[in-house]
Amino acid sequence: MLAVLGASLALLMTVATGSASAHGSVSDPPARHYGCYQRWAQNWQAPEMATQDPMCYQAWRSDPSAMWNWNGLLRDGVGGNHQAAVPDGQLCSGGLTQNGRYAALDVPGAWKTVNKPNRFTLNLLDQSSHGADYIRVYVTKQGFDPTTQRLRWSDLELVSQTGRIPTGTTTPVTVNAPGRTGHHIVYTVWQASHLDQSYYFCSDVNFTG
């Protein structure tokens, strides 16, 4: 039985690794599922995850394929109407896209943060060089609490938007979010150029001023 389980897990990781080369994610500050993948993919059964990284722990337990497919959080055919396609409370999962695979990303809690000044560079990782019709970056308003509140569109302020650009392994976007301190969500919408394909990413930052 253990041998069969091990073989099944190996197959899952092989399939996921293959599919994971197709799209992309925000790599800095890392999107929630990408950060979990970076920290725990090599030791995803470690019991210490439960205490050291409890939000990743609940996400892995909910659906480990969300982390293995860290660059598949997308919706097709949105037509630019993101607020209709992605309801309040489901922004981090892209409106429960992929049959709810990423639902655990919507759960409020003590997600790991990275320190950022109020003006910083966001990097998009686009493995397949899909390009972008645009990249929009939003940041939660001061007073929003990611540890207790599910994200709504009204909680966000648009702070940066690109035009049509080619993208690559480190596509920089300048973000300026003054007047914020502490834990915030940086929400990125990447409209890919190769198809009507929209990607949605929640990244957790601690603004240091």
Rg (CA), the chain: 17
Q: Which helix (H) or strand (E) holds 32?
A: helix 32-40
Exposed e or buried b for every residue in 91-105, given b needs 16+ CB within 10 A?
bbbbbbbbeebbbbb
Handedness of CA 78, 83, 84, 85 (dihedral sign): positive
Tell me the per-residue pLDDT of 50-85, one tens digit each, with 9 for 90 and over.
999 999 999 999 999 999 999 999 999 999 999 999
Provide the 10 A C-beta neighbour count for residue 48: 10
Q: Classify the C-alpha dihedral 62-97-173-147 as positive or negative.
A: negative
Instruction: Name the pTM for this structure.
Output: 0.89
Integer CA distances (angstroms), 171 to 21, 29, 39, 99, in order: 17, 12, 22, 29
Query: Residue 14 above 80 pLDDT?
Result: no
The answer to whether 104 and 59 have CB atoms below 8 angstroms apart is: yes
Of 139 and 45, more confident = 139
Where is pLDDT greater, at 10 or 135?
135
CATH of 2-207, one of 3.40.50.2020, 2.70.50.50, 3.40.190.10, 3.40.50.150: 2.70.50.50
197: helix, coil or strand?
Answer: strand
Distances (CA, A) of 15 to 10, 27, 56, 57, 197: 9, 22, 21, 22, 22
Give the C-alpha separation, 187 to 133, whole Å: 17
